Amino acid sequence: MGTQANSFFSLLASLIGIYNFIIFIRIMLSWRYSGKALDPNNNLQRIYLSLCKYTDPYLNLFRNFKGLKKGMLDFSPVVALVLLSILQSIFKLLSYQQSISIKSIIAIIVSTLWTSVFSWIFLILIVILGIRLYFESRPSPKSSGFVNMIDKMLNGMMFKIYKTFYNGKMISDRKLIKTALGIVVVIYLLCRILIAILVGALM
């Protein structure tokens, strides 16, 4: 009985993993075909339409939450993928053991949120700050538009860092960017260590 249950949960975890991957591919393709008239005779577009048929009923459950949309950005697919990842991890754990504790579920949720969402936010922010620092060191008229776009994205965070560490002082943009990059890297590493400790304690 135990072996059958383990196999069942292992199968569920595998199926969720496959469905998660299908949703990911559908999201990637939607960036290309969103708002365009699709041709059913085109092989790639036909695949995209098929993926939409099987994934949209699930994705639509999250699109109804207004809090998941910020302007042009729609975070509902991210929430949908994270929830599936959490379920997959729970079923994987159940395939190894007969029962699961509340602590283990909390550990899975925390670990999945960190791995799938927050760690990526930190890494993307680090890359953006690194790019901004590069262009600050090597200014070019051709890159001014791109630099302005990055500055608009980072404006709120940079202002808070300036107020906290350099309030009223005259500093260069380069120094402020370096400070921001250092702070983000330190916070990322601290969070990574704390999450690992917390998950280890709960598991």
Can you give the residue range of the structural domain that contains 150?
101-203
Are residues 147 and 135 in contact, defined by beta-carbon separation less than 8 angstroms? yes
Domain identity same for 122 and 181: yes
Are residues 16 and 91 in contact, defined by beta-carbon separation less than 8 angstroms? yes
Domain identity same for 121 and 84: no
Domain identity same for 110 and 82: no
In a structure prediction context, what are the per-residue pLDDT tens digits for the chain, which is 203 residues long? 457 777 888 899 999 999 999 998 988 888 776 666 666 677 777 888 888 889 989 988 888 777 777 766 778 888 899 999 999 988 888 888 777 888 888 898 899 899 888 998 999 999 999 999 998 888 777 778 888 888 888 888 999 999 998 887 888 889 999 999 999 999 999 999 999 999 889 87
From CA 37, how far away is CA 29, in angstroms rounded? 14
Are residues 113 and 82 in contact, defined by beta-carbon separation less than 8 angstroms? yes
From CA 72, how far away is CA 89, in angstroms rounded? 31
Domain identity same for 108 and 179: yes
Domain identity same for 29 and 2: yes
DSSP code string of 45-112: HHHHHHHHHHHHHHHHHHHT-GGGEETTEE-HHHHHHHHHHHHHHHHHHHHHSS---HHHHHHHHHHH
Domain identity same for 163 and 187: yes
Domain identity same for 12 and 1: yes
Among 69, 99, 129, give the residue marking a domain's end: 99
Q: How many other β-carbons are positioned within 10 Å of the β-carbon of residue 7?
A: 11
Domain identity same for 63 and 130: no
Among 66, 99, 132, give the residue marking a domain's end: 99
Domain identity same for 110 and 170: yes
Tally of domains within the chain: 2
By C-alpha distance, which of 193, 11, 198 is closest to 104?
Answer: 198
Q: How many other β-carbons are positioned within 10 Å of the β-carbon of residue 122?
A: 18
The residue to which tokens 């790019």 are assigned:
131
**b/e burial code for range 133-165 (CB count within 10 A of at least 16 → b):** beebeeeeeeeeeebeebeeebeeebeebbeee
Domain identity same for 95 and 106: no
Among 99, 134, 166, give the residue marking a domain's end: 99
Whether this model's pTM surpasses 0.85: no
Domain identity same for 134 and 178: yes
Domain identity same for 125 and 166: yes
